[in-house]
Structure 1
Amino acid sequence: MRQLNAIAVVGASLAGLRAVQALRREGFDGTITLIGAERHLPYNRPPLSKSMLKGDDEVTLPGAEELGDQWLKGRHAIRLNASERRLTLDDGSEVHYDGLVIATGASPRRLPEHPEGVHTLRTVEDSRALRAELAAGPSSVVVIGGGFIGGEVASTARSLGLPVILVDASPYPMKNVLGTEAARWLARHHEDNGVELVSETRVTGFEGTGRVTGVRLSNGRTLPADLVIAGMGVVPNTEWLEGSGLMVSDGVVCDNRLFAMGTADVVAAGDVARWPHSLYGGALIRVEHWSNANDQGGIAALNLLAGPENAKPFADLPSFATHVHGARIQTAGLPHLADTSRVVAGSPEEDRFAVAFAKDGVLVGAVAVNAPKELIRVKRAIVAGDRLDALA
């Protein structure tokens, strides 16, 4: 462990919490300053689109109570001077550091118009506000985007007995993530559970003065809506790093040990980090899922303590899981890189199957629906560098 006296962690969500825990667990006895934009204890975000919308407010992350006094709640880092190792906060105060962990996460994409009744979902406050609107029994709920958030919110709204229209630009929801076979199954699954799909069109604006009354589409149609949830993905929170000297391009660009490029005292973790993955020929990737933030926060912090010469590459296989209308959908690796795929277990007609994805014959990803054991089998094959034709 190299000698560091003061470490700043910017971002008090999952990756930031794991970084602080790892530092203390490793025996770091210097000053840790945790800077968090929210005033809550660090909490789990996946329940925000599921159980919390039904009234379950227990989302605090285990271990959050361990945070010490050097936690600056409700504070934003607005500027970084990497050469002087100095952070400027939104109240004008400054924090000096020997080592820095950037874990500022991401924010939802928003349309230019955002009238009352149009919601994004990223924070506890967002979830509570949406919950109140769902409880009021809206007569027309429109979900924009069929990705993770959109699919989960549509599923939750249907479980509450509400009518849902899901608008997605792709032929099938999550096609770029799940591949054609699983995405086609997901479209049918949504429809079987009462969701009306409006595919291959985009939202261009909203109707209504003050409160939303409709959603305008690029195909010329207008959907009636008195509640809209915009689940159009996220963008990494890097605007505060402008002029910092760090390389920023769709996230903080890091080396394979999670050090910000060209630095020995700054690491990044979670949704904001973009790094070269050894399983994919060093391709730069950025992963927005819980498991990545959970694992990466601790590894980044330990690498910061070790220093670049003794740090370990981060090569965990990306993975995520979601539940939609009672079905468990899991992915591993990067299926979107594939040039071929094959169902290797079960079948979509049975609502239980696994798909393996390969590029140039080598496995790069997997998707499983209600088939967790099959996903584990294919994950092991991906990590081993196996070929698709070697799978039974």
Structure 2
Amino acid sequence: MPDPLPRPEPFIQQTSPAALEDLRVRLRATRWPDAPEEAGWSLGTDLAYLRELVDYWAESFDWPAQEAALASLPRFRVPVGGLGIHFVHARAVAPVGPALPVILSHGWPDSFWRYSKVVPLLTDPGAHGADPADAFDVIVPDMPGFGYSDRPVGPPLDSIAVAGLWAELMTVLGYETFGAAGGDVGSHVSRYLGLDHPDRVVAVHRTDGGLPVFRGDPADLSPEERSWIEGTAAWSATEGAYAAIHRTKPQTAAFGLNDSPAGLAAWIVEKLQAWSDCDGDIERSYTKDEILTNVTLYWLTETIGSSMRMYRANSAIPPEQLARRVEVPSGFSLFSGDVVRPPRAWLERSTNMVSLTEPERGGHFAAFEEPELFAEELRAFFRPYRAAATG
């Protein structure tokens, strides 16, 4: 007889007062660097803004209240592939007909936090002005080495391996077929779910197409594709230093980031500001409490090093894997404030693209920045594939 499937156990995290006091002590003892006058965000994280944020973090931020809000989501842990995986599993509320199971994969620098606002919009659309027939069962795992999932003790896992874990997780939860969606690293994981499990994944939705990998004759590319590849290379040269460190020497950076909460905040906040649709003002997209909830999750779980190491693993994926074409129906919502947005011709070249929309608001973290808009994008895309999914 086959081994019985593992049983998910409810998960509630309660941080000790000692851990929070240690955090406040470290914040108050921050040794600040200098910065040129009027540098702002041009050299990286703005010194004046970070000092303001750190002061709020030390003196006013209420982590227990944020922790309690996150605990309102139905959260679990279960062993999958030898690792304890933390995940949200929220079932549809009063669906009209079978609910569509969908697994949402996050990226860096975030965790299940990315989708915390959209879970109720997707599970209970009728309560939010949408069609109850569009209800989902929503599964949001923390990737290995992120959030409350285990950190691999051996080599870091790449997106292909994580996609395999997610397929196993969906089996544990009783879903034979399902939809997959994601952004950033989660876009790659969703892609490999479609590539390696096409008999189970009914459709794949992504908010980006990833960075371009093309080893053919440039003459075969459209002018728009060539322009995009050149623009992406220019973006990587000016904005990609973080990724180069993650791919090559993540452990060196991890020492400082894991020891200094102000340094950790600087590393993460700069990306929230640069990649969001905020016109340079980060608090147009996030409140201080929202920013610090994300950063505090990294601090308390000590996962900045392990999360960065996934870049190292992904950089070793063979070119033949990167070049595979996704034949599962694929859709893209390219939010206007995101970075390196690919042209239609590239998406059609690399996937069986059946849908492309360009929402006018939202950036790289669209599910958190514009949850209602993101939820409507998912409802519309997956609507034709509901009948093909079973739970």
- Which TM-score bucket, shorter chain as reference? under 0.3
Please tell me whether Structure 1 or Structure 2 has the larger radius of gyration of its CA atoms.
Answer: 1
> Does 1 or 2 have the higher relative contact order (CA < 8 Å, sep 6+)?
2
TM-score, length of structure 2 as denominator length: 0.27
Q: Greater strand percent: which structure?
A: 1
